[in-house]
Each structure stands twice: as C-alpha cells, then as structure tokens.
Structure 1
C-alpha cells in the first residue's frame, strides 16, 4: 500500500520569516530552534572514523546488524551507563541511520495499519505522530502516558510511545511509573516504544541517567514487548554521523533487522567504528554533559529575568516555557526583533509554549542571554 499521508504540522520552513528578521537584528541571529549540536566531535570518534576509512567494512558492504565490535560496544554501554544487562533480559540490538528514521518507520516495521491505535504523549516529538500516520494507524494522544487508565481500556492499542527525558518538556518518568506502563502495555498486547535519546542528560539532583525501560526491575526481567531507542547525536555531537540503535524484544528487533537489510537501511562501515568509539568514550560524554548543564542554567536564568516562567528541566536539552503573549508565534516575532529564534510550541502540540535549545555554542548562548536581560 505504500506510505499513507501525514498531517502533523512540523515544517521548519515556517520559521524562515522569523530567521530573516533575526538576521537583521544588531549582532545578527542566535538560533536556539532546531537543536542541532554545535560542539566538536570527540577526538576518539574522529580517529576511529579515519582508521576504518579503508577497512573491509568500508570497501565491502557493511553488516546491517552492525559489526561484532559495535554490538559489544552497545552491550557495554547499556551495562556501564544504564545498569542494564541486555543478555539477561533477552534483548537484541540493531543500529539505525539516526533515531528519526527509526521513530518514523517504527509503526510500519511493527506492521501496524488501519484500525490499530498508537498511544503517545499529547506534547511530544512530532515524528511519533507522523510515523503512525505514515503506517495508516490511528494516533491517541494522552496528557500523561504514565496514567495507564487513559489508554489501557481503549480497543486495539498496539503500541505506546514513551519519551523520558522528554523533548520538549524535559520531564523524566520514574522507574516505578515506567514499570506500570510496561505492565499495562503487556496486558493489552501492546509494544512499549521507549525513546531514551536524552537518557544521559538527566539534571535531577543525584541522578546520572534517566530510568531505562529495559532495566530488569522495570521490565520484570524480560525485554518482551519493549523497544528502546537511543542516539549519539547529542551525547557525542554526532548528529551528522546518523548513529543510533534499537534495543529490546529479541524477536521484534530481529524482524526489523531483516526488513532493514532488504531496504538498505545500513550505517556505513567506517561510521559503525566511529559509533563504537563514541559509546566507549565516557569522558567525552561527561564533558559534553557539563557543557549542556551550564548552558541550560544560563538560559533558564535569562529567560526568567525576561519574565518567562522558566525552570531548569528535569532532563533533555531544552527550556520549555509558556509564551508571554499566550501564543508561540507572537512571542517568536518579538524574540526575532532581538535576533533570537526559538522553536514554536505548536510543533510539539502546545501552541501556547516555546522551546529554547541549549545545543548552541557557549558564545551563542551567552549572547542570547545578554539580549534577553537588556
């Protein structure tokens, strides 16, 4: 049948006029909208890429399921950074060409279609909804996915999107609530799709990372009906490398890997080597985490001084605030006069909000803060 039409309003071209205004402001534009990393790629990653540039996995066809070394690196990363033993919960892994394509194709790879229902947070990353629409399935938006009563009795629920820490709000779901979601999904035969791309960007006091859906206590010792998505785009500034993976239910991941093989969704061989290096370079990830934390604190303080009800997020890389005017587009226009471009909350299902990204450089963040506090 091919892809179905999608209707979600996620067109970055809609902010072009605001960028034009911002570029004309004194000092030019400070872009805090898309969230594209601006810091250097770790030296270990660049060296691994260069070393693998003429390896057999470069001049020959690379493995769809990833090299043995990459798969070991993913196993090690889950064990060392997330406290998860993939083998003990019978979880499989497959690398993906960035996390966005994995999100957009997820409903289709699960064979969902007309009559099937996919649950997602009302305020969330737009590609969840777009991917469901592409498959021809129906979207059910709920205020809080952890409120399982809001969806567990709805007929034909086949999948449940979880995003913790959340883009755009930064909210983190506790391990207990995550366990409730997994249990409720299994009762109705649905798959939990846990987008944990910001897992290591947890700013709660005493926390080093957000809870994982594959933690043995959360999933009751089994990866059945649970899929976790992760990306190196933010933790290692590798957005342009397109390095991400799916981990979870062994049978589901295996089927997805076979489909990916047939349609050529394969990470290039040298990039697989770079991805393994990025997963193992914990020092570089910690340094990047510290940069983001400092930028978020600066942005939060500056926005608060401007009159926004801003607070340090629980997690992720964005400051999520209510528009001073009550309408994101009106605030976008006012901020553009200062040379600042944010993301309109309408893209995420909340037109009365704005999202400010902390992925710009230290200099750009400091410049934006200075303009906000004039």
Structure 2
C-alpha cells in the first residue's frame, strides 16, 4: 500500500501556491497586449552590485563545505551593518546564516516546537506574507492571525484564549508586506515578553523605509527576540539565496545547531559576496531611488485611473482596494488591470482573508515598463 494514500495521511492537503493562481489573469493580458508586465511577485530585476561577478568567480570558497552557521567574516559584516544602521551591538556569535529567508520562515516553527513542545500556536498579522501561516501548517502546528487595525496596530486583545495560552511564536514584518506599515514593533515586543512567546521580526524590507527612520526589533529587546534579514531586496541578490538571523543567543545557538544537523549551508562564494554587500551602501542608495521613483509613477497613475491610494511608509508595494470603483474583490481588480493595462498584480486574498478586497502592486519591473503601465492606466482616467 502506498503510505502517501493511507487514511492516516488523507486529511492533509496543501493549498495551491498563491502565485500559481495567476495563470488565468496572465492569459487575459497576453490576449490583449501580446505580453504582460509582471508586478505580482516582489522579485528584484535590477543589477546587483558591480563587485558580485568578480567575487563569485575568484573566491576559491567553493571547494569545501561552508559552515552552516555562516563564516566569521560574513557574521562580522552583518554585525557591523546592524551597528551602523540601527546603532545596536550584536556579537557575531549571536548571528547565523540562512539560505535566503523564506526557508527559515517556513521551517522555524517546527524547530521551535522541538524546544518547547507545550506551545503549539504560531501567530502572525492577519494581513501578511503567507509563509508565516504556511510554516505552521507544514510543521503540523496551530495558527492564528492577529487582527490588524487600519493604522497597522496589532490588536492582541482580540486573540482567543487558546491562541494566547499556546503561543509559541509571533511573527511581525517591518516594514509590512504588503501594507508598507512601519508601526507595531514595541507593542509586539511587550506582548511577546508578557506571554512567553518568541518574537521574530522579518526585516527584509528595512532598507526601504520612506517615512521616518528605519528600525530593528533589536533596538527594543534581545532576549526572546530574533531579527531576520535578507540580501535579496537590498542588494538584488535574490538568486544567490543568503540572509541571516540575529538576537537571543540561546535561541540562535539552538536553531543553528538544528540547522547544522539538517544540512543548511550558504555556499562559500555567496557568503563572501554577502559580506561585501553588507559593508557597502552606495548600491542600496541607488536601489532606493529606483524603487521610490517607480512608486511615485504608479501611485500617480493608479490615482488618475480612479483608485484611492497613498505611498507606503516602507517597502516597494502599493496596496489598495477597488471597492469604490465597484470591484467586488482583488481578483476582479487584477483581471481588470490585466485587460486594460497589461499588468499582473497580486490579489489581496494571497495575504489573508481580511484583505480580499485589496491588490498588491510590486514596483519591480524596469522603470521603462513601469512607465508603460502608468501611461495605460492614466488613459483609463480620461
């Protein structure tokens, strides 16, 4: 008998991968325009720093197995970046490498449950990156979305008792994907401490804060807290898969030991590139200018087309609903935009049931294509 078809396994069904659900919408754009501009997935398209090809070709670090925790130069560079960027001092021994950050998000709940089997609930904002919830699902744990106010405040007092009592892990995202909100770090730190949950702040968009100064959760606490960082967005290195986590030394040590057994390793040449990228900021400034220009272009164009939206506090996404224009949900908005502007956007349902009326627009296409989309959108408003 095939064990995958046994009754014991029959209740578990993976949901469709969110972005696989966009094929129908892509066909709509292709039929009208012959092609489409994809602003659905937040994948970088701009050039990486100029030093990347040379370092990858000449490092010599590909010969041996890299340390799972990350090389000391990489971790020192990460510590130096956090010191300069956030004025927080983190010992390099309290930092460890990740193979990108999505795999860490998806696997962390199961590893933490080994450490604390009496807690089995993963919490995350009700409008957020879908992998926070999926990490709980893949680990066989319970999950509960924390209600979010219009201003981005997490409404912990609305959580059910079972979620509070069983809280193992609380995710926050700064700035928020998809909303761009930069609020809520300090209340989350306080709540997690009071209720004995590990707080992990996913800070992969922290270099793209537009309103006020950029912050890290490690400015508020280190015990019972982790900060998660990625080079995918800040340095256009999504294809190299490298990031790091830092914070509570006991948690960092435990997780890094588990990951060592599991064989998670960032390739040596990639770590060399990451160390250099974290110590060099001019390429980040260039990317900041690119994203903000595109945000302004599309915010203006969507406004001309009749949508109500504002520039985000942070991140490189526009987040808005179409109800005022008569659209019943985000999928309907996405179909309309594919047909009228040849652009693919993400329906808000991907980021939680509470956001089904919204769409998310990632300004990740080259500026000439963003401008093309903008011209088509602007024409809809006249």
Q: Same fold by TM-score, threshold 0.5 exceeded?
A: yes
* Residues 90-128 of structure 1: CA deviation (Å, up to 9, x unaligned): 971111011100110110121266862121111100000
Higher relative contact order (CA 8 A, sep 6+): 1
Asked if 2 retains the 8 angstrom alpha-carbon contact of 1:32 and 1:360, the reply is yes
* Residues 246-273 of structure 1: CA deviation (Å, up to 9, x unaligned): 1111111111111111111100010000
Q: How many residues align?
A: 357
Asked if 1 retains the 8 angstrom alpha-carbon contact of 2:119 and 2:168, the reply is no
* Residues 72-92 of structure 1: CA deviation (Å, up to 9, x unaligned): 1101110111221113xx971
Asked if 1 retains the 8 angstrom alpha-carbon contact of 2:125 and 2:154, the reply is no
Partner of residue 63, structure 2: 59
Asked if 2 retains the 8 angstrom alpha-carbon contact of 1:32 and 1:359, the reply is yes
| Runs of at least 4 residues off by over 4 Å | 3-9, 112-115
Work out the CA distance in 2 between the residues paired with 1:94 and 1:184. Answer: 25
Greater shift in the superposed pair: 6-15 or 337-346: 6-15
Q: TM-score, normalised by structure 2?
A: 0.88
Partner of residue 275, structure 1: 274
**Offset at residue 151 of structure 1 (A):** 4.0
Partner of residue 360, structure 1: 365
Structure 2 matches for 1:287-306, cutoff 5 A? Answer: 287-306=286-305
The answer to whether the aligner puts 1:313 opposite 2:312 as a matched pair is yes
- SS of alignment partner, residue 214 of structure 1: helix
Work out the CA distance in 2 between the residues paired with 1:10 and 1:317. Answer: 22
Cα 1:5/1:277, change in 2 over 3 Å: farther
Asked if 2 retains the 8 angstrom alpha-carbon contact of 1:48 and 1:277, the reply is no
Partner of residue 229, structure 1: 228
The answer to whether the aligner puts 1:344 opposite 2:316 as a matched pair is no
Counterpart selection for 1:98 from 97, 100, 112 = 100
Partner of residue 6, structure 2: none
Partner of residue 138, structure 1: 142
**Offset at residue 208 of structure 1 (A):** 4.1
Work out the CA distance in 1 between the residues paired with 2:96 and 2:81. Answer: 14
Partner of residue 72, structure 1: 76
Partner of residue 155, structure 1: 165
CA RMSD of aligned residues (A): 2.1
Cα 1:257/1:124, change in 2 over 3 Å: same
Work out the CA distance in 2 between the residues paired with 1:167 and 1:138. Answer: 22
Work out the CA distance in 2 between the residues paired with 1:364 and 1:27. Answer: 14
Cα 1:27/1:362, change in 2 over 3 Å: farther
Greater shift in the superposed pair: 269-278 or 17-26: 17-26
Q: Which stretches in structure 1 are left out of the alignment for 5+ residues?
A: none
Partner of residue 165, structure 1: 175
Cα 1:9/1:251, change in 2 over 3 Å: same
* Residues 31-59 of structure 1: CA deviation (Å, up to 9, x unaligned): 1111111100111233322221xx2x310
**Offset at residue 337 of structure 1 (A):** 1.1
Work out the CA distance in 1 between the residues paired with 2:190 and 2:339. Answer: 49
Q: Which stretches in structure 2 are left out of the alignment for 5+ residues?
A: 1-8
Q: TM-score, normalised by structure 1?
A: 0.90
* Residues 123-146 of structure 1: CA deviation (Å, up to 9, x unaligned): 100000000111122111122363
**Offset at residue 331 of structure 1 (A):** 1.5
Asked if 1 retains the 8 angstrom alpha-carbon contact of 2:52 and 2:273, the reply is yes
Structure 2 matches for 1:100-115, cutoff 5 A? Answer: 100-111=102-113
Partner of residue 249, structure 2: 250
